[in-house]
Chain A
Amino acid sequence: AQSVSQHNHHVILSEAASLELGCNYSYGGTVNLFWYVQYPGQHLQLLLKYFSGDPLVKGIKGFEAEFIKSKFSFNLRKPSVQWSDTAEYFCAVKGYNTDKLIFGTGTRLQVFP
């Protein structure tokens, strides 16, 4: 069955700490991968996406993610988090020939000053 697993449900960090959020997917075939962020009280916004080419993808606000095909992973990273990064982060996968996104359960990140 197609699925996305986000291992960390709740992450608490201090400002300037490094961040890595795990995402693994189960999907047969070519995929497109996405990370969305939902800040408190706001709608989901796209952080970054992978379609093809360089497996290291850079997104907005200093985030990046690396697609490792052999591990079916698309982990999100940021070298130094800020208080304003406090939000919920969702990993999603889309099959190449479909239009629906399959989401993970999300990771709630809290960053303390």
Chain B
Amino acid sequence: NAGVMQNPRHLVRRRGQEARLRCSPMKGHSHVYWYRQLPEEGLKFMVYLQKENIIDESGMPKERFSAEFPKEGPSILRIQQVVRGDSAAYFCASSPPTSGRNLYEQYFGPGTRLTVT
């Protein structure tokens, strides 16, 4: 059973370009979470999605960042007009449909390291 897959693993963008990060959840998982890890900091929650729905985007910057999880295909985290401060590791996690809030865990992908030059 393949784990959570993220691509690309490394992405270099110039300031002003767009970055697209992809996440394929584990088979059978319908919940996707995106986290960002800035240098010397812990992972910070960005957004939680289920298929075709954004459930919680309280951690998303108000501008330039968007996320989607379409009915078919991977979840996409999109950063428009990237700036140097966007350089970070972006982690995706997935979890199965939950029968109870205390019964699940999040499985993490290997991350995408974004460098903005």
Cα-based distance from A34 to B95 in the complex (angstroms): 15
A side interface size, CB within 8 A: 26
Given known A-B contacts A4-B42, A90-B42, A99-B31, A44 and B48 have beta carbons under 8 A apart? no
Number of residue pairs spanning A and B whose beta carbons lie under 8 angstroms apart: 59
Given known A-B contacts A43-B3, A44-B91, A49 and B105 have beta carbons under 8 A apart? yes
Given known A-B contacts A96-B101, A99-B56, A100-B56, A43 and B111 have beta carbons under 8 A apart? yes
Cα-based distance from A104 to B40 in the complex (angstroms): 11
Task: Tell me if B106 counts as interface (CB < 8 A to partner A).
Answer: yes
Cα-based distance from A36 to B111 in the complex (angstroms): 15
Q: Is the CB of A105 within 8 A of B41?
A: yes
Q: In the complex, which residues of chain B have a beta carbon less than 8 angstroms from the beta carbon of A36? A: 108
Q: Which secondary structure dominates where chain A touches chain B?
A: loop
| Residue on B nearest A96 in the bound complex, by CB | B101
Task: Tell me if A68 counts as interface (CB < 8 A to partner B).
Answer: no
Smallest beta-carbon distance B105→chain A, Å: 5
Smallest beta-carbon distance B22→chain A, Å: 15
Cα-based distance from A52 to B58 in the complex (angstroms): 27
5 further interface pairs, Cβ-Cβ under 8 Å (given A99-B56, A105-B41):
A42-B110, A51-B102, A52-B102, A92-B43, A100-B45
